[in-house]
Amino acid sequence: MTGMSPRKAGGSSRLAVYESLRRRILGLELAPGAALSENDLAAEMGVSRTPVRESMILLSEEGLVQVFPKVGTFVSRVDATRVADAQFLREAVELAALEDIPATPDPDLVAALRENLERQQVAGTDREEFFRLDEEFHHALLRLSGHGNSWSTVASAKGHLDRARRLGLYDAASPRPFVEQHADVLTAVLSGDTEAARTTLRGHLRAVFEDVERVRRRSPELFATDPDAVPVRRSVAVWGN
């Protein structure tokens, strides 16, 4: 992945810088614990320091960046508590939405979900493409229930969760189990078995907790321990990315 160059003016520049940095943090291009330089980022993106600084403030409010006076600015390490909070919100929304899927779902959305599953099963699909398809699948399930607009609220709250999911996905031998879970959820939904759909979807969404523990044992430096601890400037690599 590469950063974008938002050579725009005023508010558009600020928004572009913020969206670019957020995407790079969630995509692990800017790894948990990595030091951030306003000067370097501004030069790389072709903007002044002002939109970069303003973006850092917004990202710090989301818990994705930490600013330590006289030390520097760093990408926040993945916080297991924030992962759990975001997972709680996501699960509540997605499971509740299953109850509102009509007996005869929108055929166009059903076709889109089936096509999405087919693309998930293509051999050689890289992890980042699979992540995108996974997001698209879950959003489409919400749309099937008539609650597609709630996706933006969920997405804005799951920065730490998305990084944990990516770390788990890159650590997994294959995304195949996730594909099979998606297929089982869709089969249950289309057969009208809401309880089976809820049970399968709940297990699917909660798998991230096992991922966090597995990855943390292997790479503890990617995860937060003491949120107030001042980090040390050093290179941080995300294996498998």
43's CB contacts (< 8 A; 6+ apart) are none
Check residue 11 and give its pLDDT. Answer: 52
CA distance 182 to 211: 18
**3-state SS record for 45-83:** HCCCHHHHHHHHHHHHHCCCEEEECCCEEEECCECHHHH
Spans of all domains in the chain: 10-76, 80-220
CA distance 223 to 237: 13
Closest residue by Cα to residue 62 from 162, 165, 139: 162
Check residue 9 and give its pLDDT. Answer: 42
Check residue 125 and give its pLDDT. Answer: 86
Which fold does the domain 10-76 belong to in CATH?
A: Arc Repressor Mutant, subunit A (1.10.10)
Ranges under pLDDT 70 in the chain: 1-12, 226-241
CA distance 38 to 53: 7
Check residue 173 and give its pLDDT. Answer: 87
Check residue 149 and give its pLDDT. Answer: 97
Provide CATH code, domain 80-220.
1.20.120.530
If you search the block for the tokens 């099963």, which residue do you land on?
Answer: 121
